[in-house]
Amino acid sequence: MKLLRYGEVGSEKPGLMDGDGVIRDLSAHVDDITGAMLGDASLDKLRALDTASLPAVEGNPRLGACVAGFSKFMCIGLNYSDHAAESGLAVPDHPILFMKANSAIVGPNDDVVMPRGSTHTDWEVELGVVIGKEAKYVSEADALDYVAGYCVCNDVSERHFQTQLSGNWTKGKSCDTFGPTGPWLVTRDEVPDPQSLGMWLDVNGTRMQTGSTATMIFTVAQIIAHLSGLMTLHPGDVISTGTPPGVGMGMKPEPVYLNSDDKMDVWIEGLGQQTQMVREDA
């Protein structure tokens, strides 16, 4: 299934995308797409519905982030071997973890707003993992059983804030609108191998990132096992698992960063596409 949330900001309704590309309304069956309905039993009930009998949503509504009400948005840094090489940094011994503020999360096609004073706003296509049931001290062998599904994330980053303002990477990762998520959550039964997905990102129609989850240093299962040994992962929590090469910071001979009116197209094989326009904050 492809689960989604549609409607204006703060008034999103639950839905799913059917096989013909039509959004079907799920409001009669669930209140919203949240961690509370992402367990296997709840998802099985939705799978059993007659999709064709669900109300079709007219027009082309705005899509919100594909999951609501999660307790945390976790990100893994420097998790692709080819991106580490691009950055000239050593491969880490353990997953590098930072958090993105929940207030950064927006819909997949919402504008990305550069904060005041930003001159180093960058892009990062990433595989998002949505947790489906409480996970604590989970083994690598069992880890994927705790996944509800997968989605596209753009880990937008302000590199000067991230690297020059001292403290934590979170400063450059948590600006408002810096977490486009979706367009939909693809349930794990439709993603048999999360380590074999192609990934791409274009800026103004020019290909910047081409990669594959096959070059992850730490797999999805390893990341879940590692994080669940440090903290409880709750249903609906999102893990953004790192980016392949081609970020603006790594461009040669000089870095390239986003400007107002730039357009980003972001997609992952089988998980859908995002499109964001960039603008400056007022």
Can you give the pLDDT at residue 11? 97
- What is the rounded radius of gyration, in angstroms, for the C-alpha atoms of the chain? 18
As beta bridge partners, residue 187 has: 149
- Every domain of the chain and the residues it spans: 2-53, 73-280
Average pLDDT, the chain: 95
Q: Which of 15-24, 154-163, 256-265 has the lowest mean pLDDT?
A: 154-163
Question: 3-state class of 223 per DSSP?
Answer: helix
On the question of pLDDT at 167 being above 80, the answer is: no
Confidence of residue 91 (pLDDT cuts 50, 70, 90): confident
Can you give the pLDDT at residue 41? 97
- Alpha-carbon span 64 to 179, nearest angstrom: 11
Can you give the pLDDT at residue 83? 78
- Alpha-carbon span 6 to 250, nearest angstrom: 35
As beta bridge partners, residue 198 has: 212
What token pair was written down for 127?
């595989």
Question: 3-state class of 268 per DSSP?
Answer: strand
What pLDDT, in 10s, does the model give residues 101-131? 999 999 999 999 999 989 999 999 999 999 9
Residue 22: partners with Cβ closer than 8 Å, 6 or more residues away: 56, 57
Sign of CA dihedral 148, 157, 92, 90: positive
Can you give the pLDDT at residue 264? 98
What pLDDT, in 10s, does the model give residues 11-69? 999 999 999 999 999 999 999 999 999 999 999 999 999 999 999 999 999 999 999 99
Residue 231: partners with Cβ closer than 8 Å, 6 or more residues away: none
| Percentage of the chain modeled with pLDDT above 70 | 100
Which of the given ranges, 79-83, 85-89, 136-140, has the highest pLDDT on average?
A: 136-140
Phi, psi for 46 (deg, rounded to 5): -70, -35
Relative to beta strand 238-240, strand 73-77 is parallel
Can you give the pLDDT at residue 216? 96
Comparison of pLDDT for 163 and 65, the residue scoring more: 65
Phi, psi for 47 (deg, rounded to 5): -65, -30
On the question of pLDDT at 169 being above 90, the answer is: no
Q: Any idea of the CA torsion for 141, 142, 146, 149, to the nearest 10 degrees?
A: 40
Mean pLDDT of 84-113: 91
On the question of pLDDT at 95 being above 80, the answer is: yes
On the question of pLDDT at 87 being above 80, the answer is: no
Mean pLDDT of 245-274: 96
What pLDDT, in 10s, does the model give residues 203-247? 999 999 999 999 999 999 999 999 999 999 999 999 999 999 999
Q: Are 28 and 35 in contact (CB under 8 A)?
A: no
Can you give the pLDDT at residue 85? 78
Fold (topology level) of 73-280: Fumarylacetoacetate hydrolase; domain 2 (3.90.850)
Q: Are 80 and 242 in contact (CB under 8 A)?
A: yes
Q: Are 153 and 238 in contact (CB under 8 A)?
A: yes
Can you give the pLDDT at residue 84? 76
DSSP letter string, 17-80: E-TTS-EEE-TTT-SSSBGGG-SHHHHHHHHTS-GGGSPBPPS-PPB--SSBS-S-EEEEES-B
Can you give the pLDDT at residue 275? 98
Can you give the pLDDT at residue 66? 98
What token pair was written down for 26?
């799920």
- Which residue bears the tokens 């953004």? 240
Alpha carbons within 13 angstroms on the beta-carbon side of residue 214 total 7
> What pTM does this model have?
0.96
